[in-house]
Copies of this chain bind each other. A is one copy, B any other.
Amino acid sequence: MTTTAPRTERLRQRMRTAGLDVILAFKPESSFYLTGFNPIIYSHPVIAILPAQGKPSMLIHALRDDHARASTFIQDIRLYGAWSTKVTMGPNWQDALKTMLEEAGLAKAVIGVEEDFLPVARARQLAELLPGASFRDASEMIMTTRLVKDADEIANARDAARIADTGMIAAVEAVRQGGSERDVSLAAMAAMNRFWADNFPDKEVCDFGSLEGGAQNGLWAWALAGDRMFMNCDNPTNRKPEAGEAISILIWTIVNGIHAENERTVAVGALNDERRRALDSIIEIRNEVATLLKPGTPINALFGATKAGLEARGYGKYLPGRIGHGIGLGAHEHPSLDARTGILLEPGMILTLEPNLRIPGIAATQLSDTVLITEGGCEFLTRAPDVVLNA
């Protein structure tokens, strides 16, 4: 279990520069980031309280007490609500939070909240609860801190990628056996879960739930056959790919809160020339762009190289909006790999690289890898073969 996290110190440095006294994190990914605790469902909020100086604390519903104590690296855990014999600070989080901030001398502080997540109603409750405080947006500060991963997060990403590789092998085999989208999806999910259960006794594969729902298992695979590739994302159906069609296989995994993604296009029988050329071209372009994956490259240069590669091959009409995204606690996290993002790559960043083609009615490709930026360049964490033809 982590007891001190470099990410916490990096965030505190940014807090001090920006003049924030404390951050109150309500977003599931962020409260996990600052506490190591994921209750899986967030209908009762988990609040991470990180002061710029002094000890961090957390506030949770009483029913989460035993689970939180087994998971978090925070020492100071406070409870709200009612649950059997648990002693709590009061029936709701509002009164408990006010007491905690008053105790810490932070009731009139400059408080950072995540305006990209915090619902309007909760923001109003906070303002009424703490009339002497002032509130500022800490969303960007937290997302920027999350961009560069800590060593434990990178280790989890490697494990998530190993699970994804296992899933891809099972998925391709299911295509080879003539399976439907659902067969492919189920075979890959079963293989990934078995691999996880057998090899990672102490790691969790739950995802982050929402305000209304949970996410007990985040080892997901789905597949889209033929024209259904244009859907980009959909629940798998009983459709089987026919000879001459491609099927896209999309695998998303998570280990201890950190995601990996691997997506491939599998040809069933011989593709016609247009489909084959699209797929070959995308792999070439991906390989060209990958040479730019190293510290110092601006993200929009990755998009620019993709655009140039597509234009050079006569695909200039079919530009995507982006060619990947950050990945970590979010399956899709900041930033977008697009034409506008000037952020420079740094060691420890993890991105998906997924330049793809959609030629309506003609051809679609699906290719995505999870890539770690290193001191010397990059390391592909997902390692499935680029392309499988004639499965």
Report yes or no: B213 in contact with A67, Cβ–Cβ below 8 A.
no
Q: In chain A between 185 and 236, which residues have their CB closer than 8 angstroms to a CB of chain B?
A: 185-186, 189-190, 193-194, 197, 201, 204-218, 220-222, 230-235
A289 CB within 8 Å of chain B: no
Chain B residue at minimum C-beta to C-beta distance from A39: B233
Report yes or no: A117 in contact with B211, Cβ–Cβ below 8 A.
yes
Instruction: Point out the residues of chain B lying under 8 angstroms from A213, CB to CB.
Output: 207-208, 215, 218, 259, 330-332
Closest Cβ of chain B to A312, distance in Å, is: 17
Contact of A186 among B116, B186, B197, B211 (CB under 8 A): B197
Task: Indicate the size class of the contact surface on chain A.
Answer: 35 or more
Contact of A120 among B85, B118, B197, B222 (CB under 8 A): B118
Contact of A216 among B28, B123, B232, B235 (CB under 8 A): B235
Report yes or no: A67 in contact with B233, Cβ–Cβ below 8 A.
yes
Closest Cβ of chain B to A323, distance in Å, is: 12
Report yes or no: A183 in contact with B210, Cβ–Cβ below 8 A.
no
Q: In chain A between 325 and 359, which residues have their CB closer than 8 angstroms to a CB of chain B?
A: 325, 329-333, 357-359
Report yes or no: B40 in contact with A84, Cβ–Cβ below 8 A.
no
Report yes or no: B197 in contact with A63, Cβ–Cβ below 8 A.
no
A41 CB within 8 Å of chain B: yes
Known contacts A29-B212, A85-B358; 14 additional CB pairs below 8 A are A39-B233, A63-B232, A63-B321, A64-B233, A67-B233, A70-B231, A84-B360, A113-B120, A212-B331, A214-B252, A214-B332, A216-B221, A217-B222, A217-B235
Interface residues of A (CB under 8 A from B): 28-29, 39-41, 43, 61-64, 66-67, 70, 81-85, 113-121, 123-124, 137, 139, 180, 182-183, 185-186, 189-190, 193-194, 197, 201, 204-218, 220-222, 230-235, 237-238, 252, 259, 317-321, 325, 329-333, 357-360
